[in-house]
């Protein structure tokens, strides 16, 4: 047998390189990346929660204050008159059925001022807060170093005017869609109103997916608001599979949180009511960014980089609108 000289690995300079990690944006890698970025996401959520604090304050001021009693149904007054005049058992039964009392908040001057201020803060800062959060979420999804506070305000400064204008448009779209859904829902038992309710729900779902792409494109490309909306609408079809998984994940998380809140409150446990303020917004934003950014990169960034002979490492890319023919 030949003698084999043992070489200590500490002195061996010809060690094989580590195998490169597969960073393909699959569902498996999503959970791996989510775990790695959990601490950053928790910090980012504390920044994003300021987006909903004014809304929460306005709701609390409206509902938790002075109230006045009233009745729910308009038939209460004539039924009460009939009961006083005749006192029949039928009138008493109907009066008990339609005479449910409600406590309606009284809109005092001070309450109205506070609510208007909270609404104004939301309208003025909505677009800026979404842009700042989107910039940080994009960095986390790409695996870049993220300096949350400085990057947040950097994105706001770079997109100050457009983010402000689109923030107002965004809130207007959301407000109209929510009002339509609330209007058609109680009337959806009839065929005509049921079709309208289904149409409004479909429009709401489409716009939800469009929002996955609008703010990431705003911080990445130099596009007009019209092209942002047009490209986002196209991406709802181009990225159908990723969009569907993201929407299902978002709804599943929301449903689980609602179930935990009501389940906890039913047994006097209020912690589930507070916990979403520490993680929910950042988690939902991470899901939407993880679904949207690979599609944006595939159809808008990669074709631009391959066709551009200049080696430009800037985050901002001047690009025209994406078309379904952009990449096969």
Q: Two tokens at 78?
A: 């004539």
- Give me the phi and psi of 103, to 5 degrees please: -105, 105
pLDDT on residue 178? 94
Q: Which of 193, 187, 196, 233 is closest to 213 using CA atoms? A: 233
| 201-254 pLDDT per residue, tens | 999 999 999 999 999 999 999 999 999 999 999 999 999 999 999 999 999 999
Q: Which of 319, 125, 312, 308 is closest to 216 using CA atoms? A: 319
Q: Two tokens at 41?
A: 């996401």
Which residues have C-beta within 8 Å of that of residue 294, sequence separation ≥ 6?
25, 242
Q: Two tokens at 140?
A: 């986390």
| 102-148 pLDDT per residue, tens | 666 777 888 889 999 999 999 999 999 999 999 999 999 998 888 99
- DSSP H or E stretch at residue 103: strand 101-105
**What sign has the CA pseudo-torsion 41, 46, 47, 48?**
positive
| 68-95 pLDDT per residue, tens | 766 555 555 565 566 566 666 665 565 5
């Amino acid at each position: 047998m030949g003698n084999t000289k043992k070489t200590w690995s500490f002195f061996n300079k010809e060690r094989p390189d580590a195998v490169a990690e597969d960073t393909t944006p699959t569902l498996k890698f999503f959970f791996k990346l989510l775990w790695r970025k959990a601490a950053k996401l928790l910090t980012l959520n504390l920044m994003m929660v300021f987006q909903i604090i004014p809304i929460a304050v306005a709701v609390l001021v409206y509902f938790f204050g002075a109230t006045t009693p009233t009745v729910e149904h308009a038939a209460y007054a004539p039924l009460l008159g009939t009961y006083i005049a005749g006192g029949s058992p039928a009138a008493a039964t109907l009066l008990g059925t339609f005479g449910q009392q409600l406590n309606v908040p009284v809109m005092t001057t001070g309450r109205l001022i506070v609510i208007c201020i909270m609404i104004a803060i939301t309208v003025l800062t909505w677009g800026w807060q979404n842009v700042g959060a989107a910039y940080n979420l994009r960095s986390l999804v790409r695996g870049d170093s993220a300096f949350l506070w400085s990057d947040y305000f950097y994105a706001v400064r770079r997109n100050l005017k457009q983010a402000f204008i689109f923030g107002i448009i965004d809130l207007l779209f959301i407000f109209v869609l929510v009002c339509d859904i609330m209007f058609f829902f109680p009337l959806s038992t009839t065929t005509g109103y049921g079709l309208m309710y289904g149409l409004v729900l479909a429009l709401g779902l489409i716009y939800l997916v469009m929002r996955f792409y609008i703010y990431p494109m705003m911080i990445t490309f130099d596009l007009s608001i019209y092209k942002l909306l047009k490209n986002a609408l196209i991406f709802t079809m181009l990225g159908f599979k990723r969009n569907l998984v993201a929407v299902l994940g978002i709804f599943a998380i929301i449903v689980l949180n609602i179930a935990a809140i009501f389940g906890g409150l039913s047994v006097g446990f209020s912690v589930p009511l507070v916990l979403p303020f520490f993680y929910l917004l950042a988690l939902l934003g991470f899901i939407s960014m993880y679904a949207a950014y690979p599609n944006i990169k595939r159809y808008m960034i990669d074709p631009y980089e391959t066709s551009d002979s200049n080696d430009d490492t800037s985050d901002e890319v001047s690009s025209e609108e994406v078309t379904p023919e952009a990449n096969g």
